[in-house]
Amino acid sequence: MRISVLGIYAILYLIFLYAPIVLLPIFAFNDATIIAFPLTGFTTGWFAELATNTALHGAVRNSLFIALMSAVIATGLGTMAARAGATGEFPFKRGIIGFIMLPLVLPEIIIAVALLVILVQILGMNLSNWTVIGAHVLICTPFSIAILNGAFQNLDPSMEEAALDLGETRLSAFRLVTLPLVMPGIISSLLISFTISLDEFIIAFFLTGSNPTMPVYIWGLLRFPASLPVIMALGTILVTLSIILLTIAEYFRRRGNARAGIKDTGGFL
Amino acid sequence: MAWGSNLDSDARRGLMLVSPPLVYAVLLLALPLAAIVLFSFWSQDFVTVNTTFTLNNYQRIWNEPIYGLLLQRSLFVSGAVTLVTVVLAFPVAYYISFHVDPKRKSLWLFLITIPFWTSYLIRVFLWKVILGYNGVINSGLLSAGVIDEPLTFILYNINAVIITLAHAFAPFAVLPIFVALEKIDRSLLEASQDLGEGKVMTFFRVTLPQAMPGVAAALVIVSIPTVGDYVTPELMGGAGGKLIANMIQTQFLQLNNAPLGAAIALVAMAAVVTAILVIYAQGKLLIAVYSELNGTRPVFDIFILCVTMLFLQVLVAAALLRTLGGTLGSGVAFFVGLVLYSIAILLLLKNRRR
């Protein structure tokens, strides 16, 4: 393979992108409490400390619950919007879809303060996991739509029509014909939404109740230098987990494209 | 629905399908946004909110220099991050679209998006480790003998904030530009070269104009969210690197002055949208001038003229940012000046045509 200037630049760019992540495991296994070079020695103690930290376990449980609910609801809403976008014209189609996609370009802090004002100051509700879920569904739905758009738009409508002609109802035709075809997209959307919600901090910090989510808990730890190596260990686990989830998501997205019989054009955004 | 009968069954089904996500967005997005608009005209009386209409919050933002300063800094950081991100990302998007084997394109995109999906807080913190006093860069340069004492200009200031944000938003710039580049009909490039243009001119006259929608999308997707981030300035910015989002967060969560916080949030949104519209209009202006003159003079002359105009625009924008630091009023004055400048150029173009 001929290596061009552009190719070298692209590789340097990748190194820039991965530089912080590569450091994570290095410091997670380093036995100094200060996160700096030179390294002092190897330890797995920070991981052991993770296992005994009950406050962290609570935060992780909260985050997993929020991420799961957000992923399921956002993917449900995203499926409906993407399917509506793929079926014919209806009034204000562009406006409506554009409005639903709006959180993609809205600063997260605006969403956070807007929801805080209406939920707490006006409706007088208490903050809880569900207030975070409400906001996370809002920001995950656009991603879900973006992923599923591909799946629905490349679907051959004659397949579902054939099922209708053969006597299936709309619902059962969707379940038996369309759903299996877009299933890879749905799984991919679930995984991506789950990852977004699990990692989201800016909104969660405003809307979290008495039980912090994992990023909010990490934010609290960042103030204490002694807890930093533990964060590195936690980060290592999280990064490994996200890479596994994303690889599975990518696998399903590609399989979905293959099933719809289209050329793979890469990213889902 | 009375008018529902006018729609065909497909349209009705589409509306029915889209209504749950639409209702959700109205309830959790449109209503809350309306609520903060309302809230910004109220005031805080210690623990209760006074619901009599007042412009006090906006007057404070207008008069007190701190808000103008923070807004100026936020717009500057947002602009710098956007510029750095897009300039760094373009060659990568170009490389993936034009030089990578089609089978491996999605692998490249996957590699570029992965870092974006890993814990944001930890990623920001790790930049502290890289840029810090005993950080990777300093200890590396020290042991290599390049420097004698650690560099201090790369942590706890605006530079650190810009580097970290440019890293965080990298995929948001690469992906839209890549999509735009992928759409370019490759035969146009061949046609251009067959007609005698060199590789460089083909890039500037065929590839770049067609990549512009992607660049524009990248500008919007990067610049707006950067204004709303308070994590990076909080962790990386030090005392002099706080941004408007930190102020919003402080008003809401520490000073407990939600109405003022709501007003600041709205002003910040309005400022960034205005800035984007200005850039968009100036870009259009540049393109209008270019296409008006295209063919009348040597390409090189037009190129020089456009670069000069671009330089002038950047100068005006920089001046606008500087004055914004005084009070918001002078910022608005400069904005009006910029609009007048644009109108003057458009009138000149019109006269030429006659």
CB A249 within 8 A of CB A191: yes
Mean pLDDT over B32-44 rounds to: 89
Number of cross-chain residue pairs from A and B with Cβ atoms under 8 Å apart? 276
DSSP label at residue B118: S
Are A105 and B224 an interchain contact pair (Cβ–Cβ within 8 Å)?
A: yes
Walk me through the domains of chain A, giving residue ranges and CATH numbers: 54-260 (1.10.3720.10)
Mean pLDDT over B216-233 rounds to 87
Q: B153 or A133: whose pLDDT is higher?
A: A133
pLDDT of residue A268: 44
- Picking from A3, A21, A2, the residue whose alpha carbon sits closest to that of residue A11 is A3
Question: Which structure tokens are listed for A142?
Answer: 């656009």
The residue that leads in pLDDT, B90 or B256, is B90
Q: Is B31 a domain residue? A: no
In a domain, B124, yes or no: yes
- Tens digits of per-residue pLDDT, A38-97? 677 787 878 888 888 888 889 999 999 999 999 999 999 999 999 888 877 788 888 898
Asked whether the beta carbons of A137 and A77 are under 8 A apart, the reply is yes
The answer to whether the Cβ–Cβ distance between A34 and B31 falls below 8 Å is no
Hey, which residues 98-157 in chain B have their CB within 8 Å of chain A? 99, 105-106, 108-115, 117-123, 125-127, 129-130, 132, 134-136, 139-140
Domain-located, residue B12: no
CA B52 to chain centre: 36
ipTM higher than 0.90? no
Q: Do B17 and A222 touch (CB under 8 A)?
A: no
Q: Are B218 and B89 in contact (CB under 8 A)?
A: yes
Domain assignment of residue B15, yes or no: no
Q: Is B318 in the A-facing interface, judged by CB distances under 8 Å?
A: no
Q: Is A42 helix (H, G, I), strand (E, B) or coil?
A: strand
Q: Which is it for the CA torsion B334, B335, B341, B344, positive or negative? A: negative
Percent of chain B with pLDDT over 90: 13
- List CB contacts (< 8 A) between A109 and chain B: 228-230, 245, 248-249, 265
Give the pLDDT score at B6.
59
Q: Which residues pair with B43 in a beta bridge?
A: B50
Mean pLDDT of chain A, nearest integer: 84
CATH number, domain with residue B314: 1.10.3720.10
For A215-244, letters b (16+ CB in 10 Å) and e give: bbbbbebbeeeebbbbbbbbbbebbeebee
Which carries the bigger pLDDT value, residue A206 or residue A250?
Answer: A206
Q: Report pLDDT for A267.
A: 45
Q: Exposed, middle or buried by CB within 10 Å (0-12, 13-18, 19+), for B265? A: buried
Length of chain A (residues): 269
Measure the CA–CA gap between A49 and B134, rounded to whole angstroms: 25
Buried b (16+ CB within 10 A) or exposed e, B130-169: bbbeebbbbbeebeeeeeeebeeebbbbbbbbbbbbbbbb
- Model confidence pLDDT, tens digit, residues B322-335: 665 556 666 676 66
Within chain B, residue ranges assigned H as helices are: 9-25, 31-39, 56-63, 65-98, 105-113, 120-131, 136-143, 158-168, 170-182, 186-194, 199-202, 208-227, 231-236, 244-253, 258-293, 299-324, 328-353
The answer to whether A117 contacts chain B (CB < 8 Å) is yes
What pLDDT score does A269 carry? 41
| B208 inside domain | yes
Q: Distance between CA A139 and CA A71 in Å, rounded?
A: 11
Parent domain of B100: 40-353
The closest alpha carbon to B263, from A135, A110, A107, A102, belongs to: A110
A157 contact B CB<8A:
no
Note the pLDDT of residue B297: 67
CA B177 – CA B171 distance, rounded (Å): 10
Give the single-character DSSP code of B50: E
User: What length does chain B have?
Assistant: 354
Is residue A131 a contact partner of residue A125, using CB atoms and an 8 Å limit? Answer: yes
B111, B123, A206, A76 alpha-carbon torsion, rounded to 10°: 20
pLDDT at A80: 92
| Mean pLDDT of all residues in A239-261 | 77
Q: In chain B, which among 190-249 make CB contacts under 8 A with chain A?
A: 220-221, 224-225, 227-231, 235, 245, 248-249
Q: What is the pLDDT of residues B103-146, one digit of tens each?
A: 888 888 888 888 887 788 888 888 888 888 777 788 778 888 78
Alpha-carbon distance of B274 to A15, in angstroms, equals 35
* Nearest residue to B13 via CA among A138, A174, A146: A174
Mean pLDDT of B283-311: 73
Q: Is the pLDDT of residue A19 over 90?
A: no
The C-alpha atoms of residue B288 and residue B347 are separated, in whole angstroms, by 12
pLDDT at B143: 80
- Alpha-carbon distance B153 to nearest alpha carbon in chain A (angstroms): 18
Inspect the interface and report whether the beta carbons of A117 and B258 lie closer than 8 Å: yes
**With contacts defined as CB-CB under 8 Å, which chain B residues touch A105?**
220-221, 224-225
Contact criterion met (CB below 8 Å) for B234 and A222:
no
Specify whether the CB–CB gap between A146 and A269 falls below 8 A.
yes
pLDDT in tens, A146-170: 888 877 877 777 888 888 888 888 8
Nearest 5°: the CA angle A79, A80, A86 is: 90
**Contact check, Cβ <8 Å, B18/A14:** no
B257 inside domain: yes
Residue B143 belongs to some domain of the structure? yes
In a domain, B18, yes or no: no
Which residues 211-240 of chain A have a CB within 8 Å of chain B? 215, 218-219, 222, 228, 231-232, 234-235, 238-239
- DSSP H or E run through B44: strand B43-45
Question: What part of B 243-302 touches A (C-beta under 8 Å)?
Answer: 245, 248-249, 252-253, 258, 261-262, 265, 268-269, 272
DSSP per-residue letters across B225-280: HHHT--HHHHHHS-GGG--HHHHHHHHHHTS--HHHHHHHHHHHHHHHHHHHHHHH
Q: Say if CB B155 and CB B128 are below 8 A apart.
A: yes
Q: What is the pLDDT confidence band of residue A261, given thresholds at 50, 70 and 90?
A: low
Is the Cβ of B176 closer than 8 Å to some Cβ of chain A?
Answer: yes
Strands B48-50 and B43-45, sheet pairing: antiparallel
> How many CA atoms are closer than 13 Å to the CA of B207, on its beta-carbon side?
23
Number of domains comprising chain B: 1
